[in-house]
Each structure stands twice: as C-alpha cells, then as structure tokens.
Amino acid sequence: MSESEDRNAMLYLLAGVGIGALIGVAAGMLFAPKPGLETREELREKLRRSRRRLIRWVAEQKAKRQQVAKSEEASS
C-alpha cells in the first residue's frame, strides 16, 4: 500500500473507533440510573461538544492537506 492509502486506512480506523466510543457513551448514559430528562440533557451537551471537536478536527485536517498540496506544487 502507498503512504496515502495507509493514512486513509488509519483515518477510517480512528473514525470508526471514535464513532463506536460515542455510541458506547450514549448507550451507557441512556441506561444509567438517572432521570430521563437529566440523562437526555447530559447526552445532548456531550454530543454538541463532540460535534464541535469533530468539526474543528476536520477543518485542521483540510488545512494540513492544503498546506501539503501547496508545498508539493511549489517544489514541482
């Protein structure tokens, strides 16, 4: 496999692990012995935080890829 394929495979693996972790956290919270409203509010806030982190991470990855592409163009 090429280096870019290795990176893509690693990103897919990490994304899968992250999504699995979020699902696990959500399931754990839903089955926790708390009142339903409190659990839903807590879950909603954690999902919002995770979404913000994911959006920030995706933006960082796009910026890195653009920098790499620009540096490759400049060296060509």
Residue-level pLDDT, tens digit, the chain, 76 residues: 567 777 778 888 888 898 898 888 878 877 777 777 887 888 889 889 988 999 999 999 889 888 888 888 887 6
Question: Which amino acid is it at 63?
Answer: A
CB within 8 Å of 29: residues ≥ 6 apart: 39, 42, 43, 46
Instruction: Give the residue extent of every domain in the chain.
Output: 3-75
Q: Contact, 9 vs 1, CB < 8 A?
A: yes
Task: Answer yes or no: pTM beyond 0.75.
Answer: no
- Cα angle: 20, vertex 38, 27; to 5 degrees: 20
